[in-house]
Chain A
Amino acid sequence: MSSQIFLTGLGLISPLGLDADSFWQNLITNQSGIAPLAKLPTDGLRNANGGEVRGFDWSQYGEDGDCDEASQFAYAAALEAANNAGLTDEQRARAGLVFATNFGGAASWEACCDIAREGDIDAETFAQFLPDHAVHYTANRWNGSGPTATLSNACSSGAHAIGLAADWIRLGRCDICVAGGFDGLGISTLAGLSILRTISPDQIRPFDARRSGTIFGEGAAMVVLESETSMRTRGATPIAQFMGWSVTNNAHHLTAPDKGGAGLALAMKNALKNANIEPAQIDYINAHGTGTQYNDLAETEAIKTVFGAHAQNLAISSIKAATSHLMGAAGSIEAIATALALRDGILPPTLNLEEPDENCDLDYVPQQARARNIEYALSNSSGIGGNNASLILKKV
């Protein structure tokens, strides 16, 4: 088994930038990608704002109609990550691919429903909706021969994909793996999330006393994970070291929160064990921090459970008020933010945190990015169905 694993490439398509560099610059200068939604009707939704990808030009990557918009995001992000890692065509072809999504090709799904209402079916459009279309599309474009998988673990999907990719490298299934999550906004998705009352009628304000819900968005975020041997042989530059991970389930309720945060606490504990480090070694947590009343309190309680007194020393931030909640891509874009925080010694801010909640009483890096060198960082994700994923990265 390979002993050490590194992140050597990053790529993303997001409301806050169409590549990793512009995303990071916007994030650490306290910008937000949340704006009025233009691509969808918003009648009846709790909020007409969202994190929409703007200015993305698929013609730079592929042909019109050859895949769903969500798969386009996934492919473009994966290509940027592969290029950022300096992979050759041969290295890219033998790389593993682990993609993850909540809803697959949401636009294609809605198109299928429209076609069915007219009494017809379109198998090709239906195929573009299925969650595994993006990974197969990418593998085909790259003449891929490596292992592929698609995960669908709700909003912990992107983090889960990175963890599974690391496991594959540890087991020797591949020495390079491109992994992350993607999703596109559809009216079905937003209507469902709206009626579940997870969407804020106001702004997203993670950990703020006035928080009233989250704001959803779309995009894709992919990383290249690589064994140390492969990285050294290629002469690639590491961005961060992957240390460990875990994915758990609250085993409590399909949508209701696990109020004490026990499931997320278990994910963090297991990730620390998997990384073989002590809680006191963690300096920074990139929180799931959705801005819902229950999540932010439960996550705070889970952090206190795992870190005890050290929780007061931790810097914690949620980037969702900047990026919006990218659903299947949330965990992987937050892993990218965590890796860049380690690389640059800059902690991204929790925007819109203006009135502290007495029960959310940790250091959430409010409003402004902060310079701080950190050694170890943890990124949390949770999702509908009660799943939780935690990743641990280290500065190189």
Chain B
Amino acid sequence: MTINIIGTGAILPQSGALSIGPIERAAYPLSPKTYLDRASELALCAASLALQNAGLSGPLGADCGLCIGTQFGSVETMRIFEEKLHQSGARGASPLLFSHSYFNAAAALIAIEWGISGHHAPFGGRDSAWQAVEAARDAIELGHAQTMLCGGVEANSTARSWAGENQSGEGALFVVLQRDGDGPTFEEFWQAPHAIEGDWGALGALLARWNPTL
């Protein structure tokens, strides 16, 4: 068995920048959304690119899984929810904001968008995007899935700035892994880890290995 990378997708700032600016959501074939946290928006758009690049469209079903890593997740939606709660009390809290504030919100929204009903693993923490990619490879090796969408997301926000980070970077990166697929093998895809500028949260360890030439 080989595990191959059959698609990639990334939304990153222009070279040298750390922020992306507004997303032209119409450029991505996503279903209408009532509300999207920026982290979920970036994740959906990058996942869309990766799946398109792999020639896949939904529903992808039970043989396809998802691993995603984020350090800050939808923390800005948490902040907005908290502010409304502070102003209005528990009876005035927003169910919509609350459900979109979970750390697994982006993962769930991707699964819903493309009908990915198989293995499902949202990781949290500083190196979690790379952990998610490794876990996706493991999931295929252990027979949990045939195809895995995996990567990470981080979004800039007021709430993220409470971490005291300077020069925070935002973006989303995904790869599609497939058992015995067409494409570079998992091992040959990645670059040797190298230093990157800025603080990219969960994306740092993944960006440090990302190989845009393949």
Contacts and interface: CB of A to CB of B under 8 A. Distances in A.
Interface of A: 43-45, 101-102, 104, 109-110, 112-113, 116-117, 121-123, 126-127, 130-132, 135-136, 149-154, 160, 164, 167, 170-171, 187-188, 190-197, 246-255, 262-263, 266, 270, 274, 383-387
Given A167-B138, A195-B95, A254-B109, A123 B103 contact: no
10 contacts: A44-B92, A130-B71, A154-B102, A194-B90, A195-B91, A196-B95, A254-B105, A262-B117, A266-B118, A386-B112
Contacts of B125: 130-132, 135-136, 149-150
The 4 A-B residue pairs with the shortest CB-CB distance in the complex, in nearest-first order: A44-B90, A385-B108, A132-B125, A123-B164
A110 B82 contact: yes
A116 B116 CA distance: 38
Interface in B84-106: 85-86, 89-95, 98-105
Given A44-B91, A149-B123, A152-B124, A249 B117 contact: yes
Given A171-B141, A251-B59, 11 more contacts: A121-B161, A123-B163, A126-B164, A150-B123, A192-B81, A246-B144, A247-B119, A249-B107, A251-B116, A251-B117, A385-B105
Interface string B50-87: 00000000010010001000011100001101110110
Nearest to A147: B131
Determine the interface band of chain B, counting residues with CB < 8 A from chain A. Answer: 35 or more
Contacts of A384: 99, 102, 104, 108
A190 B124 contact: no
Nearest to B88: A44
Given A194-B90, A385-B108, A188 B99 contact: no
B98 to A, nearest CB: 3
B128 A132 contact: yes
Contacts of A160: 121
B138 A113 contact: no
Interface string B115-151: 1111111111110100100010010011110000000
A263 B61 CA distance: 11
A237 B53 CA distance: 51
A250 B59 CA distance: 12
A157 to B, nearest CB: 9
A385 B163 CA distance: 26
Contacts of A187: 85, 90
Contact of B124 (A117, A122, A150, A167): A150
A173 B66 CA distance: 21
Contact of A188 (B81, B117, B122, B123): B81
Contacts of B81: 188, 192
Contacts of B123: 149-152
Contacts of A383: 104
B124 A132 contact: yes
A197 B94 CA distance: 12
A195 B104 contact: no
A109 B128 CA distance: 20
Contact of A132 (B71, B78, B108): B71
Given A131-B125, A132-B125, A249 B108 contact: yes
A126 B157 CA distance: 14
B111 interface: yes
A246 B141 CA distance: 14
Contact of A153 (B93, B114, B121, B161): B121
B122 A151 contact: yes
B164 A196 contact: no
A153 B122 contact: yes
A368 B66 CA distance: 40
B71 A43 contact: no
Given A132-B125, A188-B82, A249-B120, A153 B104 contact: yes
The listed residue with most A CB atoms (<10 A of its CB), out of B62, B122, B138, is B122
Nearest to B115: A251
Contacts of B83: 113
A205 to B, nearest CB: 23
A24 to B, nearest CB: 30
Nearest to B90: A44
B122 A152 contact: yes
Question: Which residue of B73, B94, B95, B120 has the most chain A CB atoms within 10 A of its CB atom?
Answer: B120
B124 A248 contact: no
Contacts of A263: 117
Contacts of B124: 101, 104, 130-132, 150-152
A189 to B, nearest CB: 9
B162 A112 contact: yes
A104 B72 CA distance: 11
A151 B90 contact: no
Contacts of A385: 102, 104-105, 107-108, 111
A117 B158 CA distance: 12
B120 A248 contact: yes
Given A113-B86, A385-B105, A253 B112 contact: yes
